Structures are given as C-alpha cells and as structure tokens.
Amino acid sequence: MELARQSRRESQPHLISAGILMASGVMYLRLLILVSLFNRQLAALLWLPFVALACGALAFGWLWTKRSDKDPQSVQSELGSKNPLELTTAFLFALLFLVMLVATQLTVQYLGKGGVDTLAAIVGISDINPFVLGMTQAAGTMTPVRVAAGAIMIATASNNVVNGIYAYSLADRKTGKLSLVFLVSLALGALVPLVWLL
C-alpha cells in the first residue's frame, strides 16, 4: 500500500489509483503461476477467470492512466531497497504456510465447504499466498477441486476488498475513493466464477 501513502505527497489520483488496480490485476497472474506449479487440475479451473480478471484490471488501469490529473507531475518512488534473501520473511512465510495448511485440513475435516469458504474470506485480511498454497495441496485429496477453486476466488475477492479499505484509509481522499471503487469492483468480478464452481 505504498502507492496509497504516496498519494498524500503526489497530486496524481488517476495515475495512483490505476497503479493500485493494476497491481491487484497482476496478483491474479502471479497466483495462477503459483497454482500451476503445484496443482494443474486446480489451475485448469482457475486459469480463465484469473486471466480475465488480470486482463480486465490491467486494461482498465492503463486506460485510466490516460485521464489527466489537475497537477501532472512525475511520481517519485521512495521505496527503499530490501534484501530479497531476508531470512525473517522466509521463516515467517514458512510458518504461515504450515499454520494455514493445518487450519485448512481441520476446517475441511470438521466444517466442510462452508467452513473452507469462511476461512477463505477471513484470510483475505492478510497475505493469501499461504492459504492458496494450502489449497493446492488439499485440492483433489482432502478437498474437492471445485471447492478449493471457489475458496481461492473468495480469498482473492476478500483480499481486494481489504486492500481497497487500506487504500481508502491511507491515501488522499480522491485516490482513496477511486481505489476503493476499483478494488471492490474487482472483488465482485472475482465472485462471478462461483456461479459455475458451485
């Protein structure tokens, strides 16, 4: 959400809100690659909605950048360089993955599809990668593939809504409103495939 914070220093609501939307669109392509590496059966169900959502977000975001802002100026990047091999982050991700795998297994075993869908909606408030990886391991064994695919769609929708709320809270008013509308719309689009995944 660095872009949202940056909007308070830059008068570029169209450009920054488009960047936030496009970053969320890229998430779908990244998740598709991740799912494809671990569960091709699950990827076969998700590739079409993921590609459609990514292309829609990227195309609309690109068109939105063409709208002029009142005070056009170059957006200054203030992101510091981080060590890509930082071990703390790697260990935290591994721990989250294990916790999510156990939580997913217990949820499937004791709470069924409704429990998995509820868990998917809850994990949207944080990093959804461990949950998605957990679903790739559970799909076809502990969980029916269609249930896993639906849960992943719910998790991405929930994550988009939460990111929209973060953007609304952290950004300047106009950028925040635009970002919230864009990300909630993307979340609603992510729920459409549930019609045929049920």
In total, the chain counts a number of residues equal to 198
Query: Regarding predicted confidence, which is higher, 3 or 174?
Result: 174
pLDDT of residue 78: 44
The domain ranges of the chain are 13-68+90-197
Q: Name the band, by pLDDT with cuts 50, 70 and 90, for residue 7.
A: low
> What is the per-residue pLDDT across 77-120, written as a single tens digit (0 to 9) for each?
444 445 444 567 677 777 877 887 787 778 877 888 888 899 89
Is the predicted pLDDT of residue 75 greater than 50, yes or no?
A: no
Query: Regarding predicted confidence, which is higher, 176 or 12?
Result: 176
Segment 60-83 mean pLDDT: 64
Q: Name the band, by pLDDT with cuts 50, 70 and 90, for residue 74.
A: very low
